[in-house]
Structure 1
Amino acid sequence: MTDHDLEPKVRRLLESHWDDARGYCVPNPTTYPHLWLWDSCFHAIIWAHLGDDRALRELDATLAGQLPSGLVPHMRYGGRRADSWLGPLEHTSSITQPPMFGHAAKVLSSRGFVPSSATLDRARRGLDWLWRTRRTDDGLMYVVHPWEAGNDHSPRWDDFGAPGRTPADYSRPARTAWNKARVHDITFDSDGGALWSTSFVVCPAAFNAYVAFNLAELADLLDDRELADRADQLSEAIDSLLWDEDEQLWSDLPVVGGGPSVRLPTSDGVMPALVTQDRSKALASLRQLDDPDRFGAPYGPANVARGNPAYDPQTYWRGPAWPPLNYLFWLAARRWELDGAAQTLAVRSVDGALQSGWAEYWNPENGAGLGAAPQTWTGLVIALHDPMILAQGIGHASPVKE
């Protein structure tokens, strides 16, 4: 498929979910009728690749719910308050999500959509909050709820006291109920922002990589030495504390709760390839994305190693391929000049998007759509086939040491 063929399909997808009054796309009008932090950052990136200035409105809307402390909530409610288990605030949730706004700001700027100084200030304050509030003594970032990490039903967290402690016992309704109940274990700041939990605190490899990546991207855009230093410090902590030599992946580190499941081989363990300075670690992890004995599948990387007992290609976060993860893996592959791997990711991601009907996620074995469909973030495949990004250095904010 050519870019010309793909662009109108992606444009129709986003425009059909656009809420002009609120200035953002709803991921899916029925299943996801609100604004989600990293969804809207990805929407902004898609709009930018379409050459549409709604990219700026989407990024502004993403950061508009920022709390006085600096936390950027994972949700802004679309016209009505969501259920009380999302926290004590009236208009937003009280937890956060992967801070993809640093990368989004850089992509938008590279394509001529320069965010306002106010928006860039909000982005920096959001990263400041994470650095100030969510670091362990060892220098890693932690989350206080599964929803903060993005992969909220990860089998890496089966040992955190949820029903379904083993892959064979997993139940999505039971895990969802457990996740909702965990909000009541959170301690909140005076402005409603989540600070700590008595039942779930973990340093996920992927979330740490997302923070380091966005620190580096915003540092590059702003020429901000402090942010760049923070990105380097976090990358070094990830390598020294989370690398699993046996799996050749980065693992998660439990702080409150958890157990051996944090080492389960999921594709999240590849994400630090976005920021590591260790070429051998990056290549060892990235090569697993195309290895059929690990994550390699016909329609993009499976989220769980295909030979692991936890692997279920049909079940939420237990094996399916995810468009935003594919996009980030593609950036990591490009960063390490794995052009063939990046091209394979691009082709399989486009095939998956089309075969699934632009689904939220899909079965990596056959491309069957899963979750909400159509889902706006699946339009990210336009970026994987956009030649302009190849000339802009997106994804190369952290220099690679040979």
Structure 2
Amino acid sequence: MILGEVDGAAAVLERCWRDGYCVPNPDVYPHLWLWDSCFHSISWAALGDPRAAIELASCLDAQLPSGFVPHMRYAAPSEGSGPLTDRSSFTQPPIYAHAARVLTERGLSPVPGTLERIERALDYLWNHRMTADGLLFIVHPWESGSDDSPRFDDWIGRSAWSRLAFTIFDHQLVEATKFDEEGAAVWSREFVVAPAAINAFAAHAARELATLTGSQEWHRRADELAAAIDGLLWDGEQRHWVDQPIVGGGPSAALPTLDGLIPALVTPDPERARLALAQAEDAAGYGAPFGLRFVPAGHPRYQPEQYWRGPAWPQLNYMLYQAALRWEATTLADTIADASRRAALVSGFAEYWNPETGAGLGAIPQGWAALAAAYPAVPAQPEPPAAD
């Protein structure tokens, strides 16, 4: 690891640190976000800092008695994300089990009780968010993590991105959501979908929890969900996994986005993994000089600086890196690691960046860009021979 990345990552996390967690950005995002904090925990662990365990525990502190984990814990009372005022009523990708495994591998023990809380969180998803077909569903784009993905365009009824249009749509969907007695979102009359990426993140989380605890039950659940993803969401023509609309939606759920490659994390099929990861390597597809494009180059909806329409995202780079490691795709893994390290520095540790130039976009700096420190160290280059 080159010194700039370690120092830069540490400085970003220090700047964002509050009482027990990092805000993603002090000015733009002054609250705790669930999957952001999971990635902060991974980054702290890469730095050998015990705050890794503290942050992972903090992101589970808002957990409801049912096991549901809200995607935000507010710094001050807030409204607009459901009936609760101290936390949101929606959730986010369950990266917490992977974070716990990373901590353990790096010799940092999770806070006592963390694994039990993670198990309750995953149990909630399996018991309350599972379709009869065996896929997990979400009830708001916020829950995907990829808030304004082109895959959601048919729900909003437009193909061109507009911040105002999506903001209005997001709040309409809150009004269309059904909440349980604890305040957790359980259904929507306008937006329900089983996304490929969410299902892959959940299957991966189940597998990570099984590895940590030795639970055969979680191994079984992980395998069953991975099989459902392959059986119901694989698109052989496009060589990626699609989302499955349940309420609303349309053909946009099958559009090519980086989310469609995430199930390479869990698929049991080596050929499908190979076909998907090959697109991540393709310079005419997702592979770019500064990381993975969210939308492949050449697609009509590809815009390299437009929010979820094409920029590279550090957290998705990291998860595809994990998928590449799983399948021993070392060239791809090394490429993602190198591009992510360089992009973090060039972008100023930005929230996301132009994958062609590395220009920083969104909030700068953003906590999860500290993931640059989580990649393996760059081998030292030998000194050139002295001139005669």
Give me the whole-angstrom Cα distance separating, in 2, the residues matched to 1:265 and 1:134. Answer: 25
Tell me whether 1:378 sits opposite 2:377 in the alignment: no
Q: Percent identity?
A: 52
Secondary structure of 1:44's partner? helix
Match of 1:343 among 318, 334, 339: 334
What is the Cα deviation at residue 9 of structure 1? Answer: 1.6
CA contact (8 A) 2:150 2:255 kept: yes
**Count of aligned pairs:** 378
1:203-352 → structure 2 map (5 Å cutoff): 203-352=194-343
- TM-score, normalisation: structure 2: 0.96
Aligned partners of 1:8, 1:292: CA distance in 2, in Å?
A: 31
Shift of 1:177: 1.5
1:141 to 136, 142, 153: 136
Distance 1:5 1:212 in 2: 35
Alignment of 1:3-402 (within 5 A): 3-19=2-18, 22-78=19-75, 80-82=76-78, 84-160=79-155, 162-163=156-157, 165-166=158-159, 169-386=160-377
**1:85 match: secondary structure:** coil
Q: Which amino acid aligns with 2:24?
A: P
Shift of 1:386: 4.5
1:48-97 deviations in Å (ceiling 9; x for gaps)? 1101100111011000000011100000011x122x22011121100100
Unaligned segments of structure 2, at least 5 residues: 379-388
Q: Using the alignment, how far apart are the partners of 2:150 and 2:266 within structure 1?
A: 24
| Cα distance in 2 between the residues matched to 1:199 and 1:265 | 23
Runs of 4+ in 1 over 3 A off after TM superposition: 2-5
What amino acid is the match of 1:9? G
Per the TM alignment, residue 361 of structure 1 is displaced from its structure 2 partner at its CA by 0.2
Q: Structure 1: any 5+ residue segments left out of the alignment? A: 388-402
CA contact (8 A) 1:85 1:181 kept: no
Tell me the TM-score normalised to structure 1 length. Answer: 0.92
- The whole-number CA distance in structure 2 between the counterparts of 1:239 and 1:386 is 34
Mapped to 2, the partners of 1:365 and 1:179 lie a distance apart of: 30
RMSD: 1.1
**Cα distance in 2 between the residues matched to 1:204 and 1:315:** 22
